[in-house]
Amino acid sequence: MQPVPHALSTNTGENTPPTPPDPARVGRRLVGRAVSAAGAFLVVVALAFALIFLGAALFQDGPLAGVMVFLMCLVPVAVGIGIAQLGTPGYWRRPLDVRNFWRLPGVAGVAIALVTIPLLILSPDWALLTATLALCLYPLLDVPRILERPSWWRAAAVSAFVWLVVFVILTGVVEEVRHPREDSMIFLLPFMMYPLVLAISGLVRLAGRASGRTFESAPRIAAIAGAVACVALVAVPVGLSVIPVLVGKITGNSPANSVTSEDGDVVSAGPGEFRVHLASGSTKSFRLGPETKFDFRGPGSALVKGPPAGPSWLKAGQRVGLEYVTRGYVDRAESVNIWIERKGCRGDEKWQTALGPDASGATNIASLAGSTWASRRASQAEAGRSESTTFEFLAGNHLTYQNADGTRYTDGAWKQEGPAVRIELNDCYAEYEGRIEGDAIKGEFWNEAGAREGWTARLQGSVSAGR
């Protein structure tokens, strides 16, 4: 019997077991894909930052600097391209299914950033609104696509990461080109929208899992529900602020248990009524009644000498703070705060006219310039307590003074006419008036808080005198 050839002995039937994959080859393929993914991610991130730095350089240093910075930022882009090619040879030559590519989580965020950043740089006046709209658009475009992925959690993680990067980048560009300050609070709206839409997407996926079937319209359902929720997020606060205004316009009455506060300047005043030009730009008339309360406010309110707070203070130009309600289309003032500013030395007539410039040379009393005096005054607030201050009289009627605690100030001034001396501290907040008697100055002290005491100063440093 002839032996059967090896080729004929091979079993080619359907029951032939498959050849097991080579573990080493599978491992190399997985590592290569991971390396390529890392390189592609580096390319995307580096391009985004390249655009940011390009805009910042163009804005601050001009076109040449912008081009140089952009070329430097292309270095990590080239490194990312090389890493992706190293992980998977021919990575960048593979055909790209654009339709499926745009369905990947996070891609919409990259596209929004690439479109929005140039708009922010070219139109800085509209940067705040443009960035806000772009960030509000991201969750509606990207989050519903998570439902198309096999793993909702993995896709949500990618989308959330891209969202955070896009949010930081766009708000950073707005800060550079616009400096919004308090207006940046508007970014709270998109910041709240994203987690809200993401939660709705998770609920839709959970409902599908609970029913045991997959909804083909799940992305559309999530997009519609998310849009409705976002509109409600905006409409409810706006409605809560607008509805009372509309009710007031229709009924002529402001809401119960609520008052409106505004500041302004009095335009004119008459019996039982006055007109105010408000800080908001409008001018309104307000009715006064027995229930209207008057008070003083402002840094100079403690120094008011004259009639008590009341309608007599409502003169043209007077600054006031108002709290009012509207009843029957008439604005009724519930409280009027008269604002009193500090007069300072410019408004202190006694300081301006009491003494002229240093005229001691015309007498046998030497000028105080260049001398140091230790002042002590008895405190009326506590019996037996005294307060000390050291005065240094400088040329040009400048004065420095040091309190007992060692704190030194330079906001003082002095005047002298023969033996008469006058000192002011902190723009006439406190004033000293006295006369030179040998090596001592004796007189009176007072301040804007209402204190009034006697004071005495003793010469510490020598001063040339013709006494």
* Residue of 52, 63, 54, 62 whose CA lies nearest to 131: 52
Q: How confident is the model at residue 358 (pLDDT cuts 50, 70, 90)?
A: very low
From 246-250, 270-274, 434-438, the region with the lowest mean pLDDT: 246-250
HSE-up of 57 (CA within 13 Å, CB side)? 17
- Give 162's contacts (C-beta < 8 A, 6+ positions apart): 105, 106, 109, 110, 142
Question: What span, in angstroms and rounded, lies between the C-alpha atoms of 434 and 457?
Answer: 9
Alpha helices (H) in 181-324, listed in sequence order: 188-211, 218-251
- Give 294's contacts (C-beta < 8 A, 6+ positions apart): 308, 309, 310, 311, 313, 335, 336, 337, 338
Reported as a single tens digit per residue, the pLDDT across 274-288 is: 999 998 888 999 999
Q: How far is CA 139 from CA 132, 193, 231, in A?
A: 12, 7, 13
Concatenating the DSSP letter of every residue in 397-466 gives GEEEEEETTS-EEEEEEEEEETTEEEEEETTTTEEEEEEEETTEEEEEEEETTS-EEEEEEEE-S-----
- Asked if the model's pLDDT at residue 47 lies above 60, the reply is yes
Name the percent of the chain in helix, strand, coil, to the closest 5: 50, 25, 30
Is residue 54 exposed (0-12), middle (13-18) or buried (19+ Cβ within 10 Å)?
A: buried
Facing residues of 423 across strands? 414, 432
Reported as a single tens digit per residue, the pLDDT across 176-194 is: 887 777 777 778 878 888 8
Facing residues of 374 across strands? 390, 458
What pLDDT is stored for residue 265 in this prediction?
94
- Asked if the model's pLDDT at residue 306 lies above 90, the reply is no
Reported as a single tens digit per residue, the pLDDT across 367-397 is: 888 899 998 876 544 444 557 889 999 988 8
Domain ranges of the chain: 25-239, 264-339, 349-459
Question: What span, in angstroms and rounded, lies between the C-alpha atoms of 20 and 312?
Answer: 102
What pLDDT is stored for residue 56 in this prediction?
67
What pLDDT is stored for residue 198 in this prediction?
81
Reported as a single tens digit per residue, the pLDDT across 106-129 is: 788 888 888 888 888 888 888 888
Question: What span, in angstroms and rounded, lies between the C-alpha atoms of 70 and 117?
Answer: 14
Best CATH choice for the domain 349-459 from the list 2.40.110.10, 2.40.50.140, 2.40.128.120, 2.70.70.10: 2.40.128.120
Architecture of domain 264-339: Beta Barrel (2.40)
Strands 260-270 and 273-278: antiparallel
